Amino acid sequence: MGSETYSQVGKAQPQIDALAKATGQAKYTADFNLPRMLVGKLLGSPHPHARVLSVDASKAIALKGVKAVVTGRDVLGKKYGMFKSRRDETGLALKARYVGDPVAAVAAVDEETALEALDLISIEYDVLPAVFDPEEAMKEGAPQLHDEYERNVVADTHYDFGDADAGFKESDHIREDHFFMQPNSHGCMEPRGVLVDYDITGKFTMWTSTQSPFHVRRDTSRALGIPLSKVRIIKPHVGGGFGGKIETHPMHIAAALLAMKTARPVQIILSREEEISITRIRAAMQIHVKTGVRKDGAIMAQYVKIIADSGAYSSTSIMMMYNAGLSCMIPYRIPNFKYDGYQVYTNKAVSGPFRGHGANQPRFAVESQLDMIAEDINMDPAALRLRNASQTGDTTISGLNFVSCELSRAIEESTKKAEWDKKRGRKETNRGIGMACGGFVCGARGAGHTASGTNIHVNEDGGVTVLSGASDIGQGCNSMMAQITAEELGIPVSDVTVIAADTETTPIDPGTFSSRVTFYSGNATLIAARQVKSQLAEIAATLMEASADDILFRDKKVFVKGSPDRFIPFGELVKRAEGFGHGRLIIGQGQWAPTNTQFPDRKTKWGNVSGSYSFSTQIAEVEVDRETGQVKVLDVTIGDDCGQVINPMSVEGQAEGSVYMGIGHAFLEQTIFGDNGQMMNPSFLDFKMATPLECAPATMVEVGKPDPIGPYGAKEIGEGLLITSVPAIVNAIYDAVGVRIKELPVTPEKILDALEKKETEGKS
Amino acid sequence: MIRLPKMDHAAPSTLIDACSLMREQGEKARLLGGGTDLLVASKLRNVKPSLVVSLGGIPELRGIRFDEKEGLRIGAMTTLNELRYDPNVVGHYPALAEAAASVGTTQLQYMGTLGGNLCLDTRCMYYNQSEPWRKSRAVCLKMGGDVCHVVPKAKKCYAVFSGDMAPALIVYEAQVKLVDSAGQRTVNLKDLYTGDGKSPNQIKPGEILSDVTIPPPVEKQGSTYLKYRVRGSIDFPLAGVAVRVTLKDSGICQDCRIVLNAVSFGPVPVPDAENVLKGRELKEDFIDQAAEQATKAAHPVANAIGATPSYRRKMIGILTRRALMSLAN
Amino acid sequence: MKRELELNVNDELWEVNVEPHKTLLEVLREDIGFTGAKEGCGLGACGTCTVLVEGAPLLSCLTLALEVQHKRITTIEGLVEGGRPDPVQKAFIEHGAIQCGFCTPGNILSAKALLDRNPRASREEIEEALAGNLCRCTGYQKIVEAVESLVGSE
């Protein structure tokens, strides 16, 4: 992965802000305060579905220290949401659609007063019938959440590529299976928050825990009915996102309204309970998969039907349902593919993007079923996958084009490393090994603004400032951009300062999602850095009487190629450049979006959404206790084609984090809903994220080659690996004890029940 | 941040002063040990004490004293971390050290006290929720209402006791001293618990559990505490079993104590299981029978996130068997 | 009614005037200004508020400020001496044990407490000692490796 030709790329480095984080100096939204700042709190509906008839806040307002109360009636702008066609949120609801749906907010001099005030707000509700199950919600006559969507179907996505019926006819073996993947919380360690300052010119400045400052700006401007230029969003350090912090939250709207009303800064920090139950969760999905194969294992056709639980609002439903189907066609060659996806409103917490964004659920289903098919046709599961693996140059039946694909190599190398052949089928040991493959976009093409930009300023002592709209949420993209800049300019990473993101000072950027940041912002940074380089090279060439093409940047020096003695220190060159000719400024400006994408056809969905795609194989080894049904993941081996690795430390961090999260998703984590649709476990005690004691070591094998489009050939790893964690584990459990769990999470009880059932069936 | 309700704080330096404070203040006052149970409950507004009486500054409540003739005396404010690593506890009363090591997290073991763990309030997924959360449902029995969301028509509260220390102490025949301004009484720990989820122990307002005493260890005694929880840390137990066995020189089981945890209103001693083993060799078939009796004695209900009642019950049997097998070896 | 109290935080005495129900976390963050201790859950289940009190890792969200008067309190900021980070902080940085950084102060302080009392901690002991500090990014592997790298190095 490393390369001798690079000074920075491929070299493991700590994040550039690691020291600030290790010493407690990194500031997150809750760590800021402003003079005269008020504290805001949200008031949620106690009912799953109810119209707000009237609000009496007089007692709250009368309480000493309370400065303002706002409700849905104060929201004067338009509905907002990430997708133009599915805008269904107002921030503070006039009709609450789930327990906890914010209906009012209060600002007071301190949090205790604000909490007391919440109790004093009296709301008269018209309680409406509610529906909690998506299949019930789709029925005629079910309670309707949003008037615009009949039978509550908010996303209705269908593909029909090739001829699935014909493909099934040509198949020697067909399987149909049904799977369920549970709803789940992102569990970011930092509960989100916002601090809003409102000034006399009518401008809002917000510091907020977000993955996308520009989306928050857009939605806030819509909801408040004010121009974009009146909203400035600044992203401080963010304590994890995982997809959950992409979108605008009611707290943004409420805090802005309260700040406007009081003409004082207002801060709202969500409690852990709010963070889990009133933000976003992963959509629960019912997944039906039908796959036909030939005797030799070749997949001939696949049909996937998904019913996803949207919860109370749409969020990114249309993108998620599109991605759920699309992701099925990435890792394998599927000549005929049909898909029916439905996302359905229910009176529960809102589903939204979550690391993998709709790919995790069908990946679990399809990879589980592939193992079942392999057994049916008496083929090794790795061989079956290898038989169908996508290859470099492939264009899928849906139009996705793979400019680089090392999936076959990933399968071969990871099975070798994991001793696949030796370890499979040893049921007597209660140990098993299982695999799964996947692929993921490196940034899906958005319908609107999709490019990223980077500006680079060079300071007179050679220090470099990078301005980017990308959002570092802990994954380390600021470090990635610093590394690329340092690589190009031949300076140490410590000489690079990254400022990101601030809607007024950094280039516009869609945000951190869809595994797009290294691909897009990395390339934009590369372009900007090369501009700086060429501007400086031109001046250096004049000063050293050489050709600009022969100028090299290395070790904080600018050389003439082949003459190690002829150089100017980098800082000196910048200084001399400033006075060069009639005066110069060294500024690089890069903007980038891939040119090989094609926005999917609105009707057929044919198109190529991403410039490139990552591919991965994950192999899990587990041990099952047959008496208790408890499973221990022993080891995970990963072959990931993420192209050229820029920072191995970050890549390993993403891989290990994916394995950990996958273990959580497989066994521990789920959001549980009570009979009134209320979340039963909105706490870190009861929403059970793994501790070190449940984790397993992850080992990576090198498989990637530089991609032709990514910066230095880099592709994504943040999401594509997680989607294969769960099915690898579930397949390993089957290898260990011969039981297949099709409904997540895998609990010890489900394993015992399945073992018992298997034994009874074996006897009869 | 999650805020505590306004409350006053007193820090008496003697037990007598603490007792008189508690008598004066009545039910509005709560004792503060490590704070890991009371302050969580206060933040959730499960309780709203107007005064907390800190026991942290009372020297007589601290310390572990061991004497081969007298046995073990542990002050109520001894932390779980101290218990876990105390050489006498580890050497003579291993189930106690194991139980302490199994509580919550490292931090909670440093903070949590023995007295606090014995007086741990019972838990329920409908009760241990914030005040706004609870507004979506009728007030439950534990909060002073008249419904139970777990057992529909129940007349009493079905919240579960999940303190790990109590079962481990009961197998050693521990006694607790309860002190109030009028005097003191000694109660067998096994009798401390009431069998009502709403008020799980019989400590009266104004009384303070000051210390725990355990008889000296007997020869050829083995003991252990095993528990099931979803994660190896943080979680409360969903099932637990403490076992102590004394063997005769012949290897025959002379005496045996089996106490279950986290499946009822309090710790559950299982004499039927003990009787299976008494006078018999500690062999697999008897152990299986004892485990079956333990399973029969466990009646968990659907009050906890993490496992169904039937799985918790199953785990009681498995843990009992495993505990006994480990002692048999 | 507010009380005057003196807290010894990071070897400095801080006089604060706070109500008796204030937690150490509230006082550190809001009255003194050490924001390195974070509130991840506020209910004792995540470890992000961990600070050292007399060297022991305690949850500042469940500790009343009044209870720790006259005790030596160390926050993440206090590990830096003379502008130099503590070896535990350095190990976390060098091993890539830090991603979003929100759990980092708590994890570092738990690790510090462990190594101070058990400089030869095994991998199992490290995992157990850190099992009260949730991390959502790293999968703990690099955190455990960072702590392991310090074992026996003294």
3-state secondary structure of A123: strand
Quote the percentage of chain A above a pLDDT of 70.
99
B205 and B236 in one domain?
no
C38 and C22 in one domain?
yes
Q: Show residues of chain A in contact with C108, CB under 8 Å.
A: 22
| Structural domain spans, chain A | 32-128+189-240+245-277, 281-445+600-763, 451-592
Place A762 in a pLDDT band, splitting at 50, 70 and 90.
confident
CA dihedral A411, A243, A235, A523 (to 10 degrees): 40
- Is the pTM higher than 0.90? The answer reads yes
Last residue of a domain, one of B152, B183, B214: B214
Contact C131 A691 (CB under 8 A): yes
Residue A97's nearest CA partner among A149, A144, A56, A57 is: A144
The pLDDT score that the predictor gives to residue C45 is 98
Residue B255, domain member (yes or no): yes
The pLDDT score that the predictor gives to residue A373 is 98
Residue B248, domain member (yes or no): yes
**DSSP string of A588-645?**
EEEEE--SS-BPPPTTT--SB--S-EEEEEEEEEEEE-TTT--EEEEEEEEEEE-BS-
Q: Does C58 touch chain B (CB under 8 A)?
A: yes
Quote the percentage of chain B above a pLDDT of 70.
100
Place A763 in a pLDDT band, splitting at 50, 70 and 90.
confident
Place A449 in a pLDDT band, splitting at 50, 70 and 90.
confident
Residue B201, domain member (yes or no): yes
Q: Does B4 touch chain C (CB under 8 A)?
A: yes
B207 and B115 in one domain?
yes
Mean pLDDT of chain C: 97
Q: How many CB pairs under 8 A join A and B?
A: 70
The pLDDT score that the predictor gives to residue A506 is 98
The pLDDT score that the predictor gives to residue A5 is 86
Last residue of a domain, one of C79, C111, C132: C79
Within 8 A by CB and 6+ apart from A28, the residues are: A190, A193, A209, A236, A237, A238, A239, C38, C102
Residue A106: count of CB within 10 angstroms of its CB: 29
Residue B39, domain member (yes or no): no
**Helices C141-148 + C87-94 axis angle, to 10:** 130
* CATH number of the domain residue C140 falls in: 1.10.150.120
For A634-693, the pLDDT digits (tens) are 999 999 999 999 999 999 999 999 999 999 999 999 999 999 999 999 999 999 999 999
Helix (H) and strand (E) counts in chain C: 5, 5
Place C96 in a pLDDT band, splitting at 50, 70 and 90.
very high
Mean per-residue pLDDT, A146-171: 97
> Two tokens at B187?
């109660």
Residue B289, domain member (yes or no): yes
* H-state helical runs in chain B: 15-25, 38-43, 80-85, 87-92, 94-101, 106-111, 114-118, 131-134, 165-170, 189-192, 271-277, 284-297, 309-328
The pLDDT score that the predictor gives to residue A518 is 98
B255 and B185 in one domain?
no
Q: Tell me: pLDDT of A30 over 80.
A: yes
* CATH number of the domain residue C67 falls in: 3.10.20.30
Within 8 A by CB and 6+ apart from B183, the residues are: none
* CATH number of the domain residue B79 falls in: 3.30.465.10
C-alpha span between B89 and B38 (Å, rounded) = 26
Residue C18, domain member (yes or no): yes
> Domain span at residue C52?
3-79
Q: Which chains touch A (3 or more CB pairs under 8 A)?
A: B, C
B225 and B205 in one domain?
no
The strand pair at A698-702 and A631-641 is best described as parallel
For B112-123, the pLDDT digits (tens) are 999 999 999 999
Place A2 in a pLDDT band, splitting at 50, 70 and 90.
very low
Q: Tell me: pLDDT of C154 over 60.
A: no
- Strand spans (E) along A642-742: 698-702
Q: Tell me: pLDDT of C152 over 80.
A: no
Mean per-residue pLDDT, A207-232: 98
C-alpha span between A510 and C20 (Å, rounded) = 47
Q: Does domain A451-592 have CATH number 2.60.40.10?
A: no
B230 and B305 in one domain?
yes
Q: Does A392 touch chain B (CB under 8 A)?
A: no
Residue pair B103/B112 in contact by the 8 Å Cβ criterion: yes
Residue C41, domain member (yes or no): yes
Q: Tell me: pLDDT of A243 over 80.
A: yes
* CATH number of the domain residue B292 falls in: 3.30.390.50
Residue B23, domain member (yes or no): no
Residue C153, domain member (yes or no): no
Q: Degrees (nearest 5) of the Cα angle C58, C101, C48? A: 20
A538-546 contact pairs (CB < 8 A, 24+): A539/A573, A539/A576, A539/A577, A539/A580, A539/A584, A540/A568, A540/A573, A542/A580, A543/A568, A543/A573, A543/A576, A544/A568
Site from C46, C99, C133 to mutate, A interface, most A CB atoms within 10 angstroms:
C99
C93 and C72 in one domain?
no
Q: Show residues of chain C in contact with A698, CB under 8 Å.
A: 139, 141
C128 and C60 in one domain?
no
Contact A749 B308 (CB under 8 A): yes
Mean per-residue pLDDT, A89-110: 98
Residue ranges, chain B, pLDDT below 70: none
B307 and B188 in one domain?
no
The pLDDT score that the predictor gives to residue B277 is 97
Last residue of a domain, one of C79, C97, C118: C79
Residue C154, domain member (yes or no): no
Place A4 in a pLDDT band, splitting at 50, 70 and 90.
low
The strand pair at A496-499 and A464-468 is best described as parallel
Whether A32-128+189-240+245-277 shares its CATH topology with A281-445+600-763 is answered no
Residue B34, domain member (yes or no): no
C92 and C75 in one domain?
no
Which residues are paired to B195 by β-bridges? none
In terms of phi and psi (left: phi > 0; alpha: psi -120 to 50; beta: otherwise), the region of B252 is beta
For A547-578, the pLDDT digits (tens) are 999 999 999 999 999 999 999 999 999 999 99
Within 8 A by CB and 6+ apart from A200, the residues are: A263
Residue C67, domain member (yes or no): yes
Please name the amino acid found at residue C152: G
For B149-177, the pLDDT digits (tens) are 999 999 999 999 999 999 999 999 999 99
Count of domains forming chain C: 2
Q: Which chains touch B (3 or more CB pairs under 8 A)?
A: A, C
C-alpha span between A683 and A6 (Å, rounded) = 46
CATH number of A32-128+189-240+245-277: 3.90.1170.50
Count of domains forming chain B: 2
C63 and C31 in one domain?
yes
Last residue of a domain, one of C79, C107, C133: C79
C49 and C107 in one domain?
no
Phi, psi of A236 (to 5 degrees): -80, -160
Site from C94, C98, C107 to mutate, A interface, most A CB atoms within 10 angstroms:
C98
Residue B38, domain member (yes or no): no
Residue A611: count of CB within 10 angstroms of its CB: 26
For A425-435, the pLDDT digits (tens) are 987 899 999 99
Q: Does domain A281-445+600-763 have CATH number 1.10.10.410?
A: no
For A736-749, the pLDDT digits (tens) are 999 999 999 999 99
For C110-139, the pLDDT digits (tens) are 999 999 999 999 999 999 999 999 999 999
B320 and B197 in one domain?
no
The pLDDT score that the predictor gives to residue C31 is 98
Residue C63, domain member (yes or no): yes
C69 and C10 in one domain?
yes
The pLDDT score that the predictor gives to residue C134 is 98
Buried b (16+ CB within 10 A) or exposed e, A680-702: bbbbbbbbbbbbbbbbbbbbbbb
The pLDDT score that the predictor gives to residue B254 is 95
> How many residues are there in chain A?
764
C30 and C98 in one domain?
no
B225 and B210 in one domain?
no
> Domain span at residue B185?
59-119+160-214
C117 and C73 in one domain?
no
Phi, psi of B222 (to 5 degrees): -125, 145
For A378-411, the pLDDT digits (tens) are 999 999 999 999 999 999 999 999 999 999 999 9
